[in-house]
Amino acid sequence: MGRYLLRRVIQVPIVLWILVTATFFLMRYTPGGPFDMDKQVDPAVKAQMEAKYNLDKPMPVQYGLFLWDLVRLDLGPSFKNKTMTVNEIIAAKAPASAVLGLYAVVIALVLGLGAGVVAGVRQNSVFDYGSMTVAMVGLAVPTFVVGPLLALVFGIYLGWLPVAGYEGMDGLRYLVLPAFTLALPFAARIARLARAGMLEVIHQDYIRTAWAKGLSEQVVVLRHALRGAMLPVVSFLGPAVAQILTGSLVVEQIFGIPGIGREFVQGATNRDYTLVMGTVILFGVLLVGFNLLVDILYGFLDPRIRYA
Amino acid sequence: MRLAPLALLLALAAALPAPAGAEDWKAELGPEDDAWKKVEQTFVFNNGAEPETLDPQIMTGVPEHRLAMACFEGLVGHHPETLAPVPGIAERWTVSPDGLVYTFHLRRSQWSDGTPLTAKDFLASWRRVLEPKTAAQYAYQLYPVKGAEAFNKQGADKPDGSGKYPPADWSSVGVRAPDEHTLVVTLERPCAYFLDLCAFETLMPVPMAVVEQHGDRWTRPEHIVCNGPFKPVEWLPNQRVTFAKNPRYWDAGYVKLEKIVALPYEDMETAYKLFQQGKIDWMDDVPAAKIDECKRLPEFYVAPYFGSYFYRFNVTKPPFDDVRVRRALALSIDREVITRDILKAGQVPATHFVPPLPGYQSPRGLAYDRAAARKLLAEAGYPDGKGFPKVELLYNTLEAHKLVAENVVQQWRENLGITVSLRNSEWKVYLNDVQHLQYQLARAAWIGDYLDPNTFLDMFVTGGGNNQTGWSNARYDALIAQAAAEVDAKKRAAVLRQAEELLVEQELPIIPVYIYVKKGLLADKVAGIHENVRALHPFQYIWIEPTD
Amino acid sequence: MSGPGGPGAAAPAPPPAAAAPSAAGPRKGTSLWADAWKRLRKNHMAMLGLWVVVAMSLVSALAPWLVLFDPTYEENWIGAQAPGHRHPDVLTKNVLEVGQPAEVAAGQRAAGEVVFICDETVETEYRIAVRRGKVSDVQRAEGAIKLEALDASAAGDALVEVLEDGTRGPRLEGVRVEKGAPLPEAFGARGRSAVLFVRHVEGARKRVEYRATLVDGVVRALARDGAPVPRAELSGRDLLEVSADGRPQTHAHPLGTDLKGRDLLSRILYGGRISMLVGIVATVVSLLIGVVYGAVSGYAGGRTDDVLMAIVDILFAIPYMFLVILLLVNFGRDIVVLFIALGAVQWLTMARIVRGQILSLKEKEFVEAARMSGTGPAGILFRHLIPNTMGVVVVYTTLTVPAVILQESFLAFIGLSVEYQGQSLESWGALVKAGVDSLGTDGSRSWLLLWPSFAMAATLFSLNFLGDGLRDALDPKQRGRS
């Protein structure tokens, strides 16, 4: 286990290097540059601006400079936001995304696992059909419909919750609608996966043995079956975290939350190379981290998987 | 909503020094009674985007410009109703009879840190704009000044590849400060709109000592020193920028707002919901699909705007190298369908290019005439559209552009029998394709930089950076050059009109579609926002009235 | 899968499904899939889902032959109308010129006599804002031109209020609205703040009849109110009634129209084609790559597994949206690019899930048994391991099709809707997005959100129920139990 983990940890910088290299060149070779505007900039002035940001240098030099800065953990200045460095932007925006994402993950796990496990144990019951129907609504209706409708009902008609904005940790009210909107499709997926996993496990012989031994339902479900049911869920969690981050692009936009998702989208459309690189790196680190975590969890839940 | 009637009284060319008792008009624009003093003077508005910077000389966008007006003031300002130049840091000014020398007399004013603001500050600031290493995108706003263009471009490659621009010396630039409170500006050639430019953010003064000390970060609230009616006190990225009244502003006694909050929401749906919740007082656009609903709100306002929506032809490639084809396409768009049934906000259908301006009358252009269009297309060799090559209309990703493009394509299909497909590109890709003439037909728009037809017409001169159609016409170039040298306003307007005639009646490298409007929602309690064609609303004239 | 007591505590029976394909020989007709089908048929929800999916696919696939309207054809003067709306069947511009073919709607071309009833009244629309009890703003709607007064006191002139649903109020004759004055009493009580739209009708209302005689579609004679005229160009918006040989010519929109007067039913059917196509093709792409990749990785283990999974990690770590957006930006938004882009993203999850399953399956005794009986790695993988992952794969596939349809709708949300050879294709996602945007705060125009969402949700729902049913039916442990 220790050696396996060590190897995975050594992999991390390689994964990140490939990621940043791919992103660097994809971004640079996408048509349009950071200083293209609808009012054509005089070529002389444009050249001055490109010189200021080293964009006039040959591509390998730019790449080298970028890597050197990256090693020193300096993501460079933002091309668009002239008064801040990318490090500062990420430091300023990451908390909002993190809090929103965390909220959403918790909501999705609690709702999804709860509904999925109960539905699995009580297969074909009213609760099973009911919760699975709700889960399907969650899967079938896009976030960009749920969000505005929730805002309309709870914000405009009932006036209970704010429709947009972010006030840090003091204003968790502001995050209720966005977090719920973000969590809904993931809660639905988790519920379905948990139910499927539960059904898989519940018919296994060792569970039947446990039943036969006369153990109470709670004990069987919680101590024996749940671990098995968690497997597909856990394996979904890695990508789910990634998708929650992606999903936050829409949710941050709809609810006006100053997070990384909005920065990424704005960066990509503005060809703010450094900002895009910064957000992608952050994203990559998070993903690699979560995938590693999932692997460890997986091994913990199913000891049969050996780390040879 | 207190929107004063649109009154356009512009006397730009004949800008007179402010008469005695000049401040009377200011009092007239103010509140009638003291009721406003009883309510909190906080104004919250949606600025539409996160500002790139608050540095007036580096900024390029409308949201930044709005904030620059809060914290900086140039030599002159804009009258909030008429947009005529009004005294700013310059108390009064004189213009030499040949229109070449402007002498500004500066008032005794100070920066927000208490240091006096002098003519030297303007010299240093303008030099900063023009220094190549500053890389100010809008440096060309100073090009009317003698020697400014040469100074700015020194050392850069010439576009025709014939080497570099020669070095230039700052002393060759036509700005002088004979004493602390006098600024003398010499122009390259007469410029009818130079005073208007003096109100533009690029020409605003910046505190050079602070700029040098903090570099690009000098506009962060913790560092900034400014000379306008307000001063930024908090800047939370993508969350809000907050301004407080600047007590050291020279006319601080007139400023009524205590606090301004600018929100950065790009999504109009979000802003609209906030407005409905009463969280914001002003948004300067409405969601496109909700225009019917918004128009029925008492808070809705709409006014013509100084911008034009049009389509560009790539005239270098068939079939649009044939002027008959271009005319046929222009003649067969019923623009009323677009403005009345699709956009619905009151946009003005237009067959001319320059938005309505006092002192200038645009030609009529080519009105909708389907029979004439068919005849022209047949003459060009495509009777009933038969044999017309496959063409594509390029537009950038935005719902409103798509709505218009779909309809225009349907009209061409019905009226001319030709099939035009659509290509929808992401913004920067679209810009890239248009600039490199990699298109056949492309959607375009132009918002005027200063109140003069020239800001619309000079873009189509041969090789102009914003021409982007490949169109070149010697007579047109000559007319634009002639207008630039003309001092007499009437004659100048007539020359420019001839140029526009060439553009929209004869040669048609573009198809004008409509003139923009500015529409938005303004809460009942806000007073002092006046309609004007450039939608410039200086904050020092705004206040909050009690709602009863 | 392991029990709590560790590997030895429970002895999982070799899953019969593993042997199913090969074991089909002795008991013909009760193969896994035949058996599954039998069980599936007893699951009513799943069968309902199956039929809905089949019906939706058929209707969508056959849309061009079913639909009466071109989904892109705009009748802007109609605007958004509720389901069931009927209006005269006319073109935007109906041109009748003696001696020329009549440019009229298809249904009228073959007729002998066509009669158009046209409203030729000149009308101009104004917006009147009332603030604090007084008229604060009078503005011509077209061109946003401000006025000091709106005068309809000339003989025959009238003001007609345009009500919120677009219909007209009563005519108010001889009315004058003046800025700064209270609103004329004729308008009734309005409260202190109000906005109203009025049409200024100049002169008496003019209903004019155009009668055209056609021979083989060519106009032979044309009369306006009985008097011959050589030519007439009639705008669709001015036409009140049309009849051909005495039969009224109308169009009906069973599901209403969108903001541009396009038929919503047609748009939904055509949108279904796009969504279904994208969903199915991208899923098949992801399925093929993902299952093989994941299985190989999980079974091979060791260094191969590390390398293969590191590649997946890398691809995962490239933000999906970024990848798709960049691909679409660089290579255009053609539907084929979208298939590849979405499929290429989806297989990652499939690969991980399959690998996870294989990792736990390959430790099982039946695999050991197969290996000892001399089955090669490929045989074990494809005959024993992959079939055993089918339960999860099927469940995940039923999650993938809707997920892809949703992702396509996400792209539509950010403005990257699909195209095919330069024609913009509007999927359900694009329609739903348009529906959300046009939904009024008071719930007006809800049909624009409701029906596309319903079509999309019903299909995704059905796919999910079907998937659940399949899962239950395919579950090997249930085999033979019922």
CA B93 to chain A, closest CA, distance in angstroms equals 31
Q: How confident is the model at residue C357 (pLDDT cuts 50, 70, 90)?
A: confident
C170's enclosing H/E stretch is strand C168-173
Q: Are strands B282-283 and B42-46 parallel, antiparallel or unpaired?
A: parallel
Per-residue pLDDT, C257: 92
| Nearest beta carbon to residue C10 from set A23, A206, A232 | A206
Q: Enumerate neighbours of B (3 or more CB pairs within 8 A).
A: A, C
Taking CA–CA distances from A237, the nearest residue in chain C reads: C349
The number of folded domains in chain A is 1
The number of folded domains in chain B is 2
| Nearest beta carbon to residue B238 from set A43, A93, A271 | A93
Q: Does B297 touch chain C (CB under 8 A)?
A: yes
CATH no. for residue A238? Answer: 1.10.3720.10
Q: In whole angstroms, what is the distance from residue A280 CA to residue A17 CA?
A: 12
CATH number for the domain whose boundaries are C23-66+262-478: 1.10.3720.10
Compute chain B's Rg from CA coordinates. Answer: 24
Q: How far is CA B517 from CA B226, B301, B302, B345, C135, in A?
A: 32, 10, 6, 8, 22
Contact A88, A164 (CB under 8 A): no
Q: Are strands B441-447 and B391-396 parallel, antiparallel or unpaired?
A: parallel
Per-residue pLDDT, A235: 72
Q: In whole angstroms, what is the distance from residue B526 CA to residue B1 CA?
A: 6
In chain B, residues 382-441 whose CB comes closer than 8 Å to chain C: 392, 397-399, 402-403, 406-407, 410-411, 414-415, 421-424, 426, 429
Question: Does the beta-carbon distance from C356 to A14 stay under 8 Å?
Answer: no
Contact B242, B259 (CB under 8 A): yes
Same domain, B352 and B233: no
Q: In whole angstroms, what is the distance from residue A86 CA to residue A79 CA?
A: 9
Closest CA to B407 of B341, B474, B451, B309: B341
Which of A136, A150, A213, A260 best probes binding to C when mutated, by most C CB atoms within 10 angstroms? A136
Contact B520, B282 (CB under 8 A): yes
CA B496 to chain C, closest CA, distance in angstroms equals 24
Q: What is the pLDDT of residues C85-112, one digit of tens each?
A: 998 989 888 989 998 888 888 888 888 8
Question: Does the beta-carbon distance from B273 to A32 stay under 8 Å?
Answer: no
Q: What is the 3-state secondary structure (H, E, C) of B179-225?
A: ECCEEEEEECCCCCCHHHHHCCHHHCCCCHHHHHHHHHHHHCCCCCC
| Amino acid at site A142 | P
Residue A82 is assigned to a structural domain of this protein: no
Q: How far is CA B332 from CA B326, B338, B480, C389, in A?
A: 10, 13, 29, 62
Q: Does B398 touch chain A (CB under 8 A)?
A: no
CA B182 to chain A, closest CA, distance in angstroms equals 30
Chain A hits for C320, CB-CB cut-off 8 Å, are: 242-243, 246
* % of chain A exceeding 90 in pLDDT: 2
CATH no. for residue B373? Answer: 3.10.105.10
Contact B433, A38 (CB under 8 A): no
| Nearest beta carbon to residue C76 from set B287, B341, B346 | B341
Q: Are strands B391-396 and B420-425 parallel, antiparallel or unpaired?
A: parallel
Contact C415, C434 (CB under 8 A): no
Q: In whole angstroms, what is the distance from residue B241 CA to residue B59 CA?
A: 16
CA B426 to chain C, closest CA, distance in angstroms equals 7
For residues C407 and B205, the model is more confident at B205
Instruction: Classify residue B249 by burial, with Cβ atoms within 10 Å: 0-12, 13-18, 19+.
Output: buried
Per-residue pLDDT, B5: 40
| Mean of all residue pLDDT scores within chain C | 80
Contact A251, A175 (CB under 8 A): no
Same domain, B416 and B332: yes
Whether B106 shows a pLDDT value over 50: the answer reads yes
CA B535 to chain A, closest CA, distance in angstroms equals 19
Same domain, B389 and B476: yes
Residue B282 is assigned to a structural domain of this protein: no
Q: What is the pLDDT of residues C292-302, one digit of tens each?
A: 899 888 888 88
| Mean of all residue pLDDT scores within chain A | 80
Chain A hits for B271, CB-CB cut-off 8 Å, are: 164
Q: Does B489 touch chain C (CB under 8 A)?
A: no
Taking CA–CA distances from A48, the nearest residue in chain B reads: B135
Q: In whole angstroms, what is the distance from residue C291 CA to residue C299 CA?
A: 12
Residue A153 is assigned to a structural domain of this protein: yes
In chain B, residues 328-347 whose CB comes closer than 8 Å to chain C: 334, 336-337, 339-342, 345-347
Q: Enumerate neighbours of A (3 or more CB pairs within 8 A).
A: B, C
Closest CA to C357 of C400, C382, C386: C386
Chain B hits for C440, CB-CB cut-off 8 Å, are: 290, 292-293
Q: Does B156 touch chain A (CB under 8 A)?
A: yes
Per-residue pLDDT, C320: 66
Question: Does the beta-carbon distance from C12 to A205 stay under 8 Å?
Answer: yes
Burial A99-122 (b: 16+ CB within 10 A, else e): bbbebbbebbbebbbebbbbbbbe
Residue B295 is assigned to a structural domain of this protein: no
The Cα angle at residue B6 between residues B4 and B12, in degrees rounded to 5:
120
Q: What is the pTM of this model?
A: 0.86
For chain C, the domains span 23-66+262-478, 90-248
Q: How far is CA C332 from CA B400, C126, C318, C336, C342, in A?
A: 21, 43, 20, 10, 14
Burial A32-60 (b: 16+ CB within 10 A, else e): bbbbbebebbbebbbbbbbebbebeeeee
Q: What is the pLDDT of residues B140-196, one digit of tens each?
A: 899 999 999 999 988 888 877 788 888 889 999 999 999 999 999 999 988 888 999
In chain A, residues 22-51 whose CB comes closer than 8 Å to chain B: 30-33, 35-45, 47-49, 51
Instruction: Work out how many CB contacts closer than 8 A connect B with C.
Output: 121
Same domain, B527 and B439: no
For residues A73 and B209, the model is more confident at B209
Instruction: Say which DSSP state B145 is in.
Output: B
Q: In whole angstroms, what is the distance from residue C96 CA to residue C83 CA?
A: 32
| Nearest beta carbon to residue A144 from set C4, C436, C460 | C436
Q: How many helices (H) and strands (E) does chain C have?
A: 14, 20
Whether B479 shows a pLDDT value over 80: the answer reads yes
Q: Does B261 touch chain A (CB under 8 A)?
A: no
Instruction: Work out how many CB contacts closer than 8 A connect A with B.
Output: 138
Q: In whole angstroms, what is the distance from residue C332 CA to residue B424 CA?
A: 9
| Nearest beta carbon to residue A201 from set C1, C432, C449 | C1
Closest CA to B2 of A157, C131, A160, A170: C131
Q: What is the pLDDT of residues C239-273, one digit of tens each?
A: 889 998 888 988 889 999 998 899 999 999 988 88
Contact A158, C368 (CB under 8 A): no
Q: In whole angstroms, what is the distance from residue C50 CA to residue C463 CA?
A: 7
Domain that holds residue A117: 87-262
Question: Does the beta-carbon distance from B277 to A263 stay under 8 Å?
Answer: no
Residue B301 is assigned to a structural domain of this protein: no
Q: Does B139 touch chain A (CB under 8 A)?
A: yes
Same domain, B507 and B463: yes
Same domain, B439 and B497: yes
Q: What is the pLDDT of residues B304-332, one digit of tens each?
A: 899 999 999 999 998 999 999 999 999 99
Chain B hits for A31, CB-CB cut-off 8 Å, are: 428-429, 432-433
Residue A185 is assigned to a structural domain of this protein: yes
Taking CA–CA distances from B415, the nearest residue in chain C reads: C93
Q: Are strands B510-522 and B420-425 parallel, antiparallel or unpaired?
A: unpaired
> What's the rounded mean pLDDT across residues B496-509?
95
CA B392 to chain C, closest CA, distance in angstroms equals 8
Q: Does B290 touch chain A (CB under 8 A)?
A: no
Domain that holds residue B530: 6-264+523-544
Whether B46 shows a pLDDT value over 90: the answer reads yes
Same domain, B346 and B252: no
Q: What is the pLDDT of residues C17-67, one digit of tens each?
A: 333 333 333 444 456 667 778 888 888 888 898 899 889 888 888 888 886
Per-residue pLDDT, C24: 36
> What's the rounded mean pLDDT across residues B203-230?
93
Taking CA–CA distances from C105, the nearest residue in chain B reads: B414
Cis peptide leading into residue A31 (ω within 30°): no
Chain C hits for A137, CB-CB cut-off 8 Å, are: 457, 461
For residues A139 and A130, the model is more confident at A130
Chain A hits for C397, CB-CB cut-off 8 Å, are: none
CATH no. for residue B169? Answer: 3.40.190.10
Structure tokens at B528: 């002092």
Chain C hits for A291, CB-CB cut-off 8 Å, are: 313, 316
Residue B134 is assigned to a structural domain of this protein: yes
Q: Does C346 touch chain A (CB under 8 A)?
A: no
Chain A hits for C329, CB-CB cut-off 8 Å, are: 30-31
Cα maximum dimension of chain C: 105
Per-residue pLDDT, C160: 87
Taking CA–CA distances from C13, the nearest residue in chain A reads: A205
Whether A159 shows a pLDDT value over 90: the answer reads no
Q: How confident is the model at residue A188 (pLDDT cuts 50, 70, 90)?
A: confident
* % of chain B exceeding 90 in pLDDT: 65
Residue B47, helix vs strand vs coil: coil
Per-residue pLDDT, C22: 39
Q: How far is CA B177 from CA B86, B105, B196, B289, in A?
A: 21, 10, 21, 54
Q: What is the pLDDT of residues C177-216, one digit of tens each?
A: 888 888 888 888 887 788 888 988 887 777 899 999 999 8
Q: How confident is the model at residue C406 (pLDDT cuts 50, 70, 90)?
A: confident
